[in-house]
Amino acid sequence: MDIASPKEHDDESEYFASWVVRKQLYPETVNWIPPVRIFRYTAIFEEAWGWDRLLPHTSVPIPTYLEYLTEYHKRNRMDYVAAAAGNSKPEDWPLKYRAVNNDTQFDPDASLVDAAQFCLKMEERFMLAWNNKRVRNVKHLSQLIQERARAIISTSEEFSETAAASLVCISNEAVLASELLHRWAKSTDEEIRLCNLIRHCALNLMHITGPESAASIAAMVGVAKEARLMCQWMGQTKKLYAYRSYNHPPHEMYLCDMIREAVLKVMSHVLNNYSRGNNTYMVMDFQKKNRKRKTKVETSDDELSQASLDEQAPLDERSPKANAVTLNEKYHRRSFLLL
């Protein structure tokens, strides 16, 4: 945390308090995004923004944003654990949920099986909607996700918060991609590409450990909430969600892509800088495949020479193939004259 003088602290606190005033003056509109550092002033932050929706990463160093995500994790850590204890269905994730024991423990009987089964179901649904469209790596990524989900189901893998958050994130992104396709989005639309990039990141973050795991969990849960919000909006309005087509306030949806894109960059940063092991994270290519052109069968020099000789030679001296073609032409010409 930055060290600031009392005066600097007071000036910053006063500045951040203006965001609360703005919200009070315009309660029916979505306010402009406050600076991320506002989260350090808990009372002001809760009135100006709150802990339900992520602040996008804007104009702050990555360590500061990771600090914010870690705090967000503390406030939202049970949102993705609810179904594990059988208290809700995975399709209702993420949602607000009271911790079973306290704010630092989750249900000891929790399991990843429900989350993995739902993830598998949503991936299969997405692949049905996808229908082998000509975009690189989408089918391959889904196969990797489905293999991982089946492995969790078959082994009844021990519960972990990171894996739960990853499954929730992947499931919600698959639901969003399916919904976009059902509303006639193109396979190359940027929103679907964003879904694929986030799913790939979340799969790689599934077993991350260390101090950055809390921030990773927060990022995945926060992104999943945005995906769910977009699906709900499409269901209510019966419209296709169009990437970056919504204006700043008062439109309620303008923040979705801003949050998703910004948080994806942070997820990628964690993978590139904090993940353990020798595997380097490589962003998958989700560009459109080029159609393969059929190449014409090349004619050899010997075949060209033989064709030239056949044209010049008498009928009985030509090659059998050329002879057959010539006789066939004569037969059709004679048939035409007899009509």
- In a 13 Å sphere around the CA of 136, the CA atoms on its Cβ side amount to 10
Higher pLDDT, 107 or 3: 107
- Residues 116-158 have pLDDT tens digits of 998 999 999 999 999 989 898 999 999 999 999 999 999 988 8
- In a 13 Å sphere around the CA of 188, the CA atoms on its Cβ side amount to 6
Task: Name the DSSP letter for residue 57.
Answer: -
CA 96 from centroid of its chain's CA atoms: 23
What is the reported pTM? Answer: 0.76
Confidence label for 183 from pLDDT (cuts 50, 70 and 90): very high
Higher pLDDT, 75 or 197: 197
Average pLDDT over residues 324-338: 41
- Residues 53-69 have pLDDT tens digits of 899 888 889 999 999 99
What pLDDT is stored for residue 186 in this prediction?
92
Three-class DSSP category at 98: coil
Q: State the Cα–Cα distance between residues 82 and 168, nearest whole angstrom.
A: 11
What pLDDT is stored for residue 39 in this prediction?
93
Residue 315 has pLDDT above 70, yes or no: no
* Count of CB atoms situated within 10 Å of the CB of 126: 25
Average pLDDT over residues 64-86: 75
- Residues 163-181 have pLDDT tens digits of 988 998 999 999 999 999 9
Q: Give the percent of the chain with pLDDT over 90.
A: 38
Cβ distance 204 to 281 under 8 Å?
Answer: yes
CA 23 from centroid of its chain's CA atoms: 31
Higher pLDDT, 122 or 92: 122
CA 83 from centroid of its chain's CA atoms: 22
Cβ distance 263 to 219 under 8 Å?
Answer: yes
Higher pLDDT, 164 or 317: 164
Cβ distance 182 to 129 under 8 Å?
Answer: yes
Higher pLDDT, 113 or 27: 113
What pLDDT is stored for residue 304 in this prediction?
41
Q: Annotate 226-257 with DSSP letters as a single string.
A: HHHHHHHHHHHH--PPPTT---STT-TTHHHH
Cβ distance 56 to 255 under 8 Å?
Answer: yes
Find the distance separating the first CA and the last CA of the chain, reported in whole Å. Answer: 99
Residue 204 has pLDDT above 60, yes or no: yes
State which amino acid sits at residue 314.
Answer: P
Q: State the Cα–Cα distance between residues 75 and 104, nearest whole angstrom.
A: 10
Element (H, E) at 18: helix 6-25
Three-class DSSP category at 105: strand
Task: Name the DSSP letter for residue 168.
Answer: H
Helix 320-338 vs helix 301-312: crossing angle, to nearest 10: 50
Ranges of each domain in the chain:
1-50, 54-273, 301-338
- Residues 249-302 have pLDDT tens digits of 556 778 888 899 999 999 999 999 887 665 566 777 777 877 665 554 444 455
Taking CA atoms, 275 is separated from 89, 95, 151, 225, in Å, by 31, 28, 22, 24
Residue 102 has pLDDT above 80, yes or no: no
What pLDDT is stored for residue 3 in this prediction?
41
Q: State the Cα–Cα distance between residues 208 and 191, nearest whole angstrom.
A: 26
Task: Name the DSSP letter for residue 288.
Answer: B
What pLDDT is stored for residue 13 in this prediction?
82
Q: Give the percent of the chain with pLDDT over 70.
A: 66
State which amino acid sits at residue 221.
Answer: V
Confidence label for 330 from pLDDT (cuts 50, 70 and 90): very low
What pLDDT is stored for residue 34 in this prediction?
84
What pLDDT is stored for residue 219 in this prediction?
94
Mean pLDDT of the chain: 77
Structure tokens at 202: 């979340």
Residue 107 has pLDDT above 60, yes or no: no
Confidence label for 231 from pLDDT (cuts 50, 70 and 90): very high
